[in-house]
Amino acid sequence: MIAVNFATVQSKLDDYCDKVADGAETVIVTRDEEKNVVIISMDRYNEMEKAERNAAYIEKLERGLAQVHAGLGITKTMAELEAMVNGV
């Protein structure tokens, strides 16, 4: 992880982008008033997005399982489910 000020990144943006893209480096850009930003690779960004989606999905599953354990589930036979799909 590299921390550099905004002016330095601005003057050498290509170099820092290459470090991020080629070397899997993370660059923290320090700015006034603690308005810092982070430059990460697209691969790392995609990993983070996937992890966030997975966490949200797991949370939904856990909520559903808690509802089933609390007796709030509904039991349907396969025939009943097929009838629901077919509009019968």
Task: Give per-residue pLDDT as tens, 18-74.
Answer: 999 998 899 999 999 989 999 999 999 999 999 999 999 999 999 999 999 999 988
CB 20 within 8 A of CB 41: yes
Q: What is the dihedral of CA 60, 61, 67, 71, to 10 degrees?
A: 160
Q: Which domains does the chain have, with CATH numbers?
A: 1-40 (3.40.1620.10), 42-88 (no CATH)
Name the pairing type of β-strands 27-30 and 37-39: antiparallel
Whole-model pTM: value is 0.67
* Element spanning 69, H or E: helix 42-69
Find the length of the chain. Answer: 88
